């Protein structure tokens, strides 16, 4: 039986839409990092997105686990022109567009950004590639809110709207069983 341990990176404390911007994580809560690390299987492989907030979080919980190369396909949703803007700012100029993006995710993308369906394809392809290359192994994937939601939606056969209804806290772990079938065992488990 293989599992995915989907870990959300440490907090950035940004109060805006942070997608592909390379903001650092606050990893000062070493007790939380220690609890998270202790809850992960010792023989799992560790991989992260290539954004520094995920890379440094993976560094903090890796310990003796084998580390795989950073994977840019595990990045957060690309917010395009909305990147680093607050929702209220975008709502002032594009109220219908931003509401549709969050409330009916699918093919709607931020200008110059990525749609929910696009991020699902990108992240699912990366996860499939990693699972094929490391068949039968558990994977700790340190990633982002949107990337994690894509795989929860996959496991639970949810729509994007249903997936966005889930809270994914920083330094939480969501555990998905992938064999024999996909199923979410825990979602947003904070230790």
Q: What is the pLDDT of residues 40-92, one digit of tens each?
A: 999 999 999 999 999 999 999 999 999 999 999 999 999 999 999 999 999 99
Residue among 142, 190, 183 at smallest CA distance from 167: 190
Residue 1: per-residue pLDDT: 64
Residue among 88, 25, 16 at smallest CA distance from 59: 25
Going by the DSSP 8-state scheme, the letter that residue 81 receives in this structure is G
Per-residue pLDDT, averaged over 123-131, amounts to 98
- The gap between the terminal CA atoms of the chain, to the nearest Å, is 23
Tell me the average pLDDT of the chain.
Answer: 97
Contact 145, 168 (CB under 8 A): yes
1-41 tens-digit pLDDT: 699 999 999 999 999 999 999 999 999 999 999 999 999 99
Contact 26, 11 (CB under 8 A): yes
Residue 179: per-residue pLDDT: 86
Structural class in CATH, domain 3-189: alpha beta
Going by the DSSP 8-state scheme, the letter that residue 75 receives in this structure is P
């Amino acid at each position: 039986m293989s599992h995915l341990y989907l870990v959300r990176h440490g907090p950035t404390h940004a109060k805006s839409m942070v997608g592909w911007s390379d903001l650092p994580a606050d990893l000062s809560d070493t007790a939380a990092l220690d609890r998270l690390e202790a809850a992960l299987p010792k023989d799992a492989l560790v991989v992260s997105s290539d954004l520094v907030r995920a890379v440094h979080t993976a560094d903090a919980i890796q310990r003796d686990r084998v580390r795989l190369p950073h994977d840019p396909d595990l990045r957060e949703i690309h917010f395009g022109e909305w990147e680093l803007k607050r929702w209220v700012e975008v709502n002032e100029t594009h109220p219908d567009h931003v509401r549709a993006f969050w409330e009916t995710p699918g093919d709607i993308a931020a200008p110059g950004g990525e749609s929910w369906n696009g991020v699902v394809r990108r992240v699912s392809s990366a996860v499939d590639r990693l699972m094929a290359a490391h068949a039968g192994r558990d994977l700790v994937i340190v990633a982002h809110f949107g990337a994690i939601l894509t795989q929860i939606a996959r496991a639970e056969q949810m729509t994007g709207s249903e997936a966005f209804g889930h809270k994914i806290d920083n330094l939480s772990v969501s555990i998905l069983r992938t064999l024999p079938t996909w199923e979410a065992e825990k979602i947003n488990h904070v230790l």
